[in-house]
């Protein structure tokens, strides 16, 4: 019998295509030349490596690893490394471009990059993952560097893998080079505040949007999808600022309480329950889909991509959507959400608090000094607030929504920097 390759799933919307369609629209609105359009679209460097690694059973398995540097126009490139079976060069290429726009929106001096290895870390031992990470680092010795390209964790990787990367790179250079990677454990030069940074930036974005819409946080309500690194801290900080968080959720479903959820209790429950809200009794059980259409002021999708599409966008009742996740809204939903007058603080702005504090980690490594949490929070809040105001002013100037305005800010910044630097 002949094997038939399963057909691609056509009805699944693609967050990366959504991103590129918005990039195209913003480039058109800015009126950038055809030449510049191609300069901005084409990655600067694309590296594919084969990584032979001895597995625990003594056999050698060869993995494929990638690193794509989309742009170095604003500075050394920055972007995470993902370990996932679905990793492929097209995905890495698009994610690298995404990083370029994100860094440009918050005005930090980085270009964009992304890396990855097609592997399943859940099926590998710690020793196998370590050997793979070290092999990948060695293969990328001429790509990575504190002045060239600075990786960070992404899906399937964390501080442990970044520590191995730093160690392997340092050994090859014959000295400790902390600034080659961010997202390291605190003792190896990681930064205070990094864990909460993305949720904190989401909160600054939400409060700034409330100010523009004249919504008093003490009378506002919110629903937050996802109770992981981003969603949990966004919930805690919004709650701290007076917002009544009426609904939270995770993969186990949604939890709703019209009087506001006791976020501290929910966090304590989750942390004692293997990171899951399953069984949490301080609220009524709802579905993740129902959470999205609650009549709240602020909706924060902070779980995964493509949760708001043309199929459910009409049901959304929130006054604003603050995108904690990457690509939670598909391009097909944009027009529907626009027509409903919902303000969207887009992912490349709202969740840039994480890369901002990663930048601080790199700065601290380079000056050989550790900042305290108060300084980090104050500086990252200022960067997020300034970026919000800049995007808002651009949206008023071009009479476009906040998402297009963010792309306009980013593309304009990279294009005008390129003009100053010049080409060949
Ligand atoms: P995480 O793994 O810590 O948490 C994800 C949360 O979403 C968990 O509570 C999980 O149970 C929940 N979840 C997963 N699938 C779900 C589903 N189908 N429905 C509802 N909930 C679901 O991840 P994170 O670091 O919080 O990242 C969340 C999103 O934010 C991702 O899109 C990520 O790319 C993006 N992001 C994260 C950071 C960061 O610094 N962590 C920075 C920028 C963007």
For strands 149-153 and 111-117, give the pairing.
unpaired
Active site residue 114: yes
3-state secondary structure of 52: strand
Is residue 209 within 8 Å of residue 320, measured between CB atoms? yes
Contacts of 377 (CB under 8 A, 6+ apart): 193, 200
Measured from the Cα of 352, ligand 1's closest atom is 43
Handedness of CA 232, 234, 237, 239 (dihedral sign): negative
Task: Tell the residue nearest (CA) to atom 3 of ligand 1.
Answer: 228
Give all domains of the chain, ordered by start, each with its CATH number: 44-178 (3.40.50.10860), 196-349 (3.40.50.720)
Rounded Cα distance, 89 and 79, in Å? 14
pLDDT of 68: 97
Q: Whose CA is nearest to atom 8 of ligand 1?
A: 228
Please, what is the end-to-end C-alpha distance for the chain in angstroms? 56
As averages over each run of 10 residues, the pLDDT of the chain (424 residues) reads 41 71 91 92 96 98 98 97 93 93 98 97 97 98 98 94 98 98 97 96 98 98 96 98 98 97 98 96 97 98 94 98 94 94 97 97 97 98 98 97 97 96 87
Is the Cβ–Cβ distance between 30 and 412 less than 8 Å?
yes
- Alpha-carbon span 158 to 275, nearest angstrom: 16
Catalytic residue among 114, 184, 319, 413: 114
Ligand 1 atom 18, closest CA? 251
Strand, helix or coil for residue 4: coil
User: Residues near 107 by Cβ (< 8 Å), separated by ≥ 6?
Assistant: 383, 386, 387, 390, 413
- CA separation for the pair 216, 419 (Å, rounded): 43
Residue of 288, 301, 299 whose CA lies nearest to 277: 288
User: Ligand 1 centroid vs 57 CA: distance in angstroms?
Assistant: 34
Q: For residue 158, report the distance from its CA to the centre of ligand 1, in Å.
A: 14
CA pair distance 80, 358, nearest whole angstrom = 11
- From residue 109, alpha-carbon distances to 105, 151, 367, 406, 413 in Å are 11, 15, 16, 17, 11
For ligand 1, mutation pick of 182, 251, 352 (most atoms within 8 Å of CB)? 251
Buried b (16+ CB within 10 A) or exposed e, 65-90: bbbbbbbbbbbbbbbbbbbbeebebe
Cα separation, 115 vs 49, whole angstroms: 11
Separation between Cα atoms, residue 404 and residue 395, nearest integer Å: 8
- Expressed in angstroms and rounded, the spacing between residue 251 Cα and the centre of ligand 1 is 10
Strands 45-54 and 60-69: antiparallel
Angle between helices 353-367 and 373-398 (to 10 degrees): 130
C-alpha atoms less than 13 angstroms from C-alpha of 315 in its C-beta half-sphere: 12
> How many Cβ atoms from other residues are within 10 Å of residue 285's Cβ?
15
Alpha-helix runs per DSSP H in 182-287: 194-212, 229-240, 263-272
Ramachandran region, residue 279 (left: φ > 0; alpha: ψ -120 to 50; beta: rest): left
Three-state DSSP class for residue 49: strand
Ligand 1 center–CA 228 separation, angstroms:
6
């Amino acid at each position: 019998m002949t094997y038939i390759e399963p057909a691609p799933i056509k009805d699944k919307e693609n967050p990366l295509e959504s991103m590129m369609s918005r990039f195209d629209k913003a480039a058109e609105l800015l009126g950038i030349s055809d030449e510049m359009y191609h300069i901005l679209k084409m990655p600067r460097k694309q590296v594919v490596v084969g990584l032979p690694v001895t597995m625990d059973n003594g056999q050698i398995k060869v993995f494929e690893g990638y690193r794509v540097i989309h742009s170095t126009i604003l500075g050394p490139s920055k972007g995470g490394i993902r370990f996932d079976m679905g990793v492929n060069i097209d995905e890495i290429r698009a994610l690298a471009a995404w990083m370029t726009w994100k860094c440009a929106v918050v005005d930090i001096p980085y270009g964009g990059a992304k890396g990855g290895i097609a592997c399943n870390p859940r099926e590998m031992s710690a020793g196998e993952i370590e050997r793979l990470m070290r092999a990948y680092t060695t293969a990328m010795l001429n790509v990575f560097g504190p002045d060239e390209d600075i990786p960070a964790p992404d899906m399937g990787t964390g501080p442990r893998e970044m520590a191995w990367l730093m160690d392997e790179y340092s050994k090859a250079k014959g000295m400790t080079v902390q600034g080659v990677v961010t997202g390291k454990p605190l003792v190896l030069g990681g930064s205070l505040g990094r864990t909460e940074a993305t949720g904190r930036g989401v909160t600054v974005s939400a409060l700034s949007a409330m100010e523009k819409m004249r919504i008093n946080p003490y009378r506002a309500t919110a629903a937050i999808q996802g109770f992981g690194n981003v969603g949990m801290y966004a919930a805690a900080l919004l709650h701290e600022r007076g917002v009544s968080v009426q609904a939270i959720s995770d993969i186990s479903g949604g939890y709703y309480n019209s009087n506001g959820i006791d976020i501290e209790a929910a966090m304590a429950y989750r942390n004692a329950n293997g990171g899951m809200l399953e069984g949490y009794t301080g609220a009524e059980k709802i579905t993740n889909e129902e959470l999205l259409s609650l009549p709240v002021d602020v909706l924060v999708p902070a779980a995964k991509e493509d949760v708001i599409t043309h199929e459910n966008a009409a049901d959304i009742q929130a006054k604003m959507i603050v995108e904690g996740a990457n690509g939670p809204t598909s391009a097909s939903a944009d027009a529907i959400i626009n027509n409903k007058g919902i303000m969207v603080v887009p992912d490349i702005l709202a969740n840039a608090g994480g890369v901002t504090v990663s930048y601080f980690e790199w700065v601290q490594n380079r000056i050989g000094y550790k900042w305290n949490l108060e300084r980090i929070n104050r500086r990252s809040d200022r960067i997020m607030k300034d970026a919000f105001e800049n995007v808002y002013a651009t949206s008023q100037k071009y009479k476009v929504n906040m998402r297009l305005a963010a792309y306009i800010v980013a593309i304009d910044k990279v294009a005008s920097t390129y003009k100053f630097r010049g080409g060949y």
